[in-house]
Amino acid sequence: MSRAKNKHIIPLAIIGFSVATPLQANFLSNDDLPIVLTPARLKQSRSEVPASVSVIDREMIKASGLLEIPELFRLIPGTSVGARDGWNYVVSYHGSNYRDSRRMQVLIDGRSVYQAGLATVDWNDIPITIEDIERIEVVRGPSTASYGANAFLGVINIITRHPADIPYLEGSAQRGSEHAENYRISHADEYLGGHYRITIASRHDDGFDIKKNGQERLDSKTVQLFNTRYERQFNNISLSLNLGYKEGRVTDDYSDIDVTSPDTNVDDYYFSSKIEKELSVFHSVKFQYDFSGQQQIHRWTAQIPPFYTDLANNPAPLILVDANEDQQVNRHDIDFQDTYIWNESVTSVAGVHLKQSRVSSETYYGGTIKSNNYQFFYNIEKKLSDKFTVNSGGSYEYEEDIGKNFSPRLAFHYHVNKNNNFRFIYSEAIRTPDLLETSANWTYTGRNIRPANGGPTTAVLLQTAKGNPNLKPELIQSREIGYYGNFYNLHLQWDVKIFSDHLEQLMSNSISLDRFDPVNDSYLKQQGIETEIDYRPSHQWLLHGSYAYIKDESNTNTETTFTPRNSASVLVSYKYTPSIQISLSKYYARAIGTSENKFSRTDIRLSKTISFNKSELELSYSGQYRNDDDSELLRDNIYTNKLRQLLGVTLRY
């Protein structure tokens, strides 16, 4: 038997023996140590994960100087990032449709933030700050087999900082261009044998400056949020509790008929609980319950001709109506997962996931509707030999009104040696149509009609839109060949992926009242290559680079405008001394957006840390300079000054 094989068997044997007789080499020890990192707790090595994975860690987040969480994904190869408004970011792996973040699953500490009601991930409504994030794992490729529907193009898994990892007290203030004002306080300590963290933050900026015609843009955001996390270990049980609330207000441009500002107030709240128990060193189970809710208040006054409504008898040429797009969305998720190591070569992960979505809106749904989704998923990893590993996984999913679907995944790894690995992956995934797409009953009810001219004071807009209950899920078939090199003693990681994806039954039409027509009539083919390199030769240097080339073909322009043919990023950071850090980053994408825009930006961050007693003070400057004259994503997204700057001060105790 070869050495590598022995390596795997030996630790299992040691652990098995240790459990039976907790004898230490320390022959006097009365303080026998528990086995903490059991095989059941250890994660699959990145070289054996049945997917392409990228990681954004805390050092990268800090060095990037970025303020907005979605902008971090510019560092991930093949990931398109754009802003529809100053507050409305869109992130999509391999781009495709820019209108909404519909095809990526986004998790925060395992909790999905996908909004079923509006079929989108609203990055502005996530009740965490960028400083709360420890690391982000991005699964680049379909992952329905592991993460369920909507993990269609990939998964963004945001892991927040553990309460034990952060200072007792941290306060920061930032001010900069676009009247950006960010304030944040966090506190962490121990309580009842565990660790907790509390974050309170306030953020504001004015968004883009002008439209293409020179008019002022109204797309500011103001957010106040609170979140907390509690972690505790009871021998072989881990308990995690999360709670958060966000109150936000965004402004929007007036349309031709708006009389008052069509601003929106959105409150978001969530609760999440997770219990992990190790039944043995080879067997662990996880139970998670999540609840999230969103209340959107969007009310304004519009001026329209009465014949747009059912009040054709009103003689006034124009009437004022109070309209709303109020919405209340709730979501419950229950997840149970079982990890079992059968022997030294077979590991299985299986589980069930139950999801209930409920949405209430007079405008969008004419009342309240709900949907239940049931999923069973599994993955089996089998080490065929030292050189070969196979992962077979799948997800069986049933959604009311949609029916049942099965998404398989097969991955084959060839380990040239421990440092060099090739992967061959075939996967299928689905994105089930959301409530808005299947069940919309979209119309506006105008109230407080004035002048009423003796007639009714309530009117219904004649233009309506209906969801399509016959929609089928969007489908993707993905084939990839990848290479992952991990040269840990050089602190170098290199990943290459060549892919060919075929998407069909896509719902590409705009989700807007006048063009609402959800049908499965589009397809998209994408082929390309992408690479990512991370090199940290010493603790002073951080170098991260990515590049992607994507060639696409579709029967609709909508599915190609958000996929740049070439995109790249470079992040270089150097610590001149332990207290002085300088970082430079460059982001490039072309063509992206409705006008085949170029996006080219250079960022710089400088920071100086001053330590005194048990505290430290950090002063920082961040600058973002656009190297081109194009608008961002859409033609009306323009900053008047190419340079955006931000000054920050942080105090840690």
Partner 1 sequence: MRNYLYGLFLLILCAPAFCQIKKPVIDLILPEQNSKLELLSKKIADNQYFTVNTYIKNLPQTKDRGEILLTVSEKLLPLLKNSPYKANFALYVNSIVYQSENYKNTTALYSDQSMHKQLALISAIYSFTPLRVGIAYQDPHYIYEIEKESKNFPLMNFVIEQATGKTKLRTINRIIQSSDIVLATPESSLYNSQTIRSILLSSYRHQTMIIGPNEGFVNAGALASITTSPEQYTDEIIAMINSYIESNTIPKPRHPSHYSVKLNYSVAESLGIDLQSEAELLQEIAGYELQ
Which residues sit at the interface with partner 1, rule CB under 8 A?
3, 7-8, 10-12, 14-15, 18, 23-29, 31-39, 41-47, 134, 162, 164-165, 168, 233, 417-419, 486, 488-491, 537-539
Alpha-carbon gap, residue 278 to 267, rounded angstroms = 37
Count the residues in the chain: 653
| Closer by beta carbon to partner 1, 26 or else 463 | 26
| Dihedral, CA of residue 311, residue 316, residue 317 and residue 319, to nearest 10 | -70
Q: In what order do the strands lie in the sheet with 445-450?
A: 299-304, 319-324, 445-450, 459-460
Least distance CB 568 / partner 1 (angstroms)? 25
Q: How far is the CB of 546 from partner 1 (least distance, A)?
A: 19
Q: Given the complex with partner 1, which of 215 and 611 has the nearer CB atom?
A: 611
Least Cα distance to 260 among 324, 328, 178, 326 occurs for 324
Nearer to partner 1 by Cβ, of 91 and 107: the residue is: 107
Give min distance, CB of 15 to partner 1, in A: 7
- Nearest CB to partner 1, comparing residues 368 and 540: 540
CB of 236 to partner 1, least distance (A): 9
CA-wise closest residue to 337 among 281, 271, 398, 283 = 283
Q: Classify residue 607 by burial, with Cβ atoms within 10 Å: 0-12, 13-18, 19+.
A: buried
Closer CB to partner 1, 234 or 398, in the complex:
234
Shortest CB 575 distance to partner 1, Å: 11
What residues have CB less than 8 Å from 557, skipping those under 6 apart?
none
d(CA 299, CA 291) in angstroms, rounded, equals 26
**Minimum CB distance to partner 1 smaller for 416 or for 643:** 416
Q: DSSP readout, 429-443?
A: EEEPPPHHHHH-EE-
The amino acid that residue 486 corresponds to is N
**Choice between 68 and 231, CB closer to partner 1:** 231
Collapsed DSSP state (helix, strand, coil) of residue 308 = helix
Residue 387 Cβ, how far from partner 1 at the closest point, in Å?
14
Find the shortest distance in angstroms from Cβ 345 to partner 1: 13
Other C-beta atoms closer than 10 Å to the C-beta of 387 total 14
CB 573, min distance to partner 1, A:
15
**Residue 372 to residues 116, 351, 398: CA-CA distances in angstroms?**
11, 17, 8
Least Å from the CB of residue 164 to partner 1? 5
Cβ atoms of 321 and 302 within 8 Å: the answer is yes
Q: DSSP letter at 7?
A: H
CA 217 to chain centre: 27
Of the pair 46, 466, the CB lying nearest partner 1 is at 46
Q: In whole angstroms, what separates CA 329 from the centre of its chain?
A: 19
* Closest CB to partner 1 among residues 195, 644: 195
